A and B are shown apart, each in its own frame.
Chain A
Amino acid sequence: KAGVTQTPRYLIKTRGQQVTLSCSPISGHRSVSWYQQTPGQGLQFLFEYFSETQRNKGNFPGRFSGRQFSNSRSEMNVSTLELGDSALYLCASSSGGETQYFGPGTRLLVL
């Protein structure tokens, strides 16, 4: 089976812009979770989608949002970008059990 894929892999944006990241889970997986990784804060959970519904949410401002489509693909959107949003954004998929499989990440740089 193909692994989790994320696009784009690298992205450069300026402050105030918005960005959309995409994640395609492992075939058959219905749960998609998003994490932010920064040198200062480490790995932090953003949110999880299961069957097109947000099932769990971390402690991030409303500028961070997501959605999941009927084919389980997920997108994450960040509006009004700030310098502190520069990070590696990781997507993970799960069949609904406890084990999550991660994609390679999207590295976002905000200038």
Chain B
Amino acid sequence: AQSVTQLGSHVSVSEGALVLLRCNYSSSVPPYLFWYVQYPNQGLQLLLKYTSAATLVKGINGFEAEFKKSETSFHLTKPSAHMSDAAEYFCAVSGGTGANNLFFGTGTRLTVIP
């Protein structure tokens, strides 16, 4: 079975500070992992994905995530927060080979303080 746990439902950072959003996964098969962002009243936008290639994945808007198998983690980081980063972020794991369903975490709402 696949699942993800996002630690911290709310994270606040100052503009220009490091952003760190935590995600731990559980998967019975080699996982595909994703980070999505959701702005108010919008759908989900793909930030980045891990599909068993490089363990450090770079995404859009300066975000990156590192897959650590030993820690079953896939934390999302950005060196310097921008006001436009304020949104809700979801970590997700795929349902396994041949399965096109995603299991989502409960989300982390990021607030950026000017």
Q: How many A-B residue pairs have CB under 8 A?
A: 57
Q: Pick from A45, A96, A103, A105: contact of B101, CB below 8 A.
A: A45
Q: Are A99 and B46 in contact (CB under 8 A)?
A: yes
Q: Are A50 and B100 in contact (CB under 8 A)?
A: yes
Known contacts A42-B107, A104-B42: does B101 contact A31 (CB below 8 Å)? no
**B residues in contact with A56, CB < 8 Å:** 95, 99-101
A58 within 8 Å of B (CB atoms): yes
Q: Are A90 and B44 in contact (CB under 8 A)?
A: yes
Q: Are A55 and B100 in contact (CB under 8 A)?
A: yes
Q: Pick from B90, B95, B100, B102: contact of A31, CB below 8 A.
A: B100
Interface flags, A86-103, vs B, CB<8A=1, else 0: 000010101010111111
A33 within 8 Å of B (CB atoms): yes
**A residues in contact with B101, CB < 8 Å:** 33, 45, 48, 56, 58
| Category for how many chain B residues contact A | 20 to 34
| Category for how many chain A residues contact B | 20 to 34
Q: Are A33 and B100 in contact (CB under 8 A)?
A: yes
Separation in Å of the A98 CB from the closest CB of chain B? 5
| A:61-111 near B, CB below 8 Å | 90, 92, 94, 96, 98-105
Q: Pick from A50, A55, A100, A105: contact of B102, CB below 8 A.
A: A100
Q: Are A42 and B42 in contact (CB under 8 A)?
A: no
Separation in Å of the B112 CB from the closest CB of chain A? 22
**B residues in contact with A35, CB < 8 Å:** 102
Q: Are B49 and A99 in contact (CB under 8 A)?
A: yes
A103 to B105, CA, bound (A): 19
Other than A45-B102, A99-B34, give 16 A-B pairs with Cβ distance below 8 A.
A33-B100, A35-B102, A42-B105, A44-B104, A56-B100, A56-B101, A90-B43, A99-B46, A100-B100, A100-B102, A101-B46, A102-B36, A102-B44, A102-B45, A102-B46, A105-B42
Closest 10 CB pairs of A and B: A43-B104, A102-B44, A102-B43, A45-B101, A104-B43, A98-B32, A105-B43, A48-B100, A42-B106, A56-B101
